[in-house]
Amino acid sequence: MNRISIHTTIFAAAVLAAACLHAQTSDEAVAAAQRQYETDIASCNTGSLPAPMREACVRNAGLRLDRARGGPPADATVTSTDGRATVITPEGSTPPVSGSDPVTSRDGRANVVPPSGVTPPTTIR
């Protein structure tokens, strides 16, 4: 082998090793951020904070985790299974639940849609 190809091979190996080390460090950093997020959420939910401060605490914990992961997930537009709604959710989340059928009130002036998973009464008073 000539000198140039040896130096090129050594350089390529060093770059590959650095990339692998960076990926491992990045994974470890995300795992550490996840552990810190869970600790932060537990401290937010101790019951010692008033509601506005608790909500801010939860938001800040989520923002720190998003930063460690490289930013928040991209938004995805998802249509509900019955086609009645279009929901914008974080990419990779579960599809919205739907399928509740409307129930007409006794006087016929309103259609009431009960929450999904709840057995609706036959008539609404």
Question: Three-state SS string across 22-90, please?
Answer: HHHHHHHHHHHHHHHHHHHHHHHCCCCCCHHHHHHHHHHHHHHHHHHHCCCCCEEEEECCCCCCEEEEE
Q: What is the mean pLDDT of the chain?
A: 77
Residue 13 included in any domain: yes
pLDDT tens string 35-77: 999 999 999 999 999 999 999 999 999 989 988 888 877 888 8
Residue 115 domain-assigned (yes or no)? no
Is 91 a member of any domain?
no
Q: Residue 11 domain-assigned?
A: yes
Indicate whether 123 pLDDT > 60.
no
Which residues have C-beta within 8 Å of that of residue 83, sequence separation ≥ 6?
Answer: none
Q: Which range marks the domain in which residue 66 is found?
A: 1-72
Q: What pLDDT is attached to residue 114?
A: 75
Among the ranges 2-11, 13-22, 29-38, 64-73, which has the highest mean pLDDT value?
A: 29-38
Domain count, the chain: 1
At 44 the pLDDT is: 92
CA distance 119 to 74: 35
Q: What is the pLDDT of residues 25-38, one digit of tens each?
A: 578 888 999 999 99
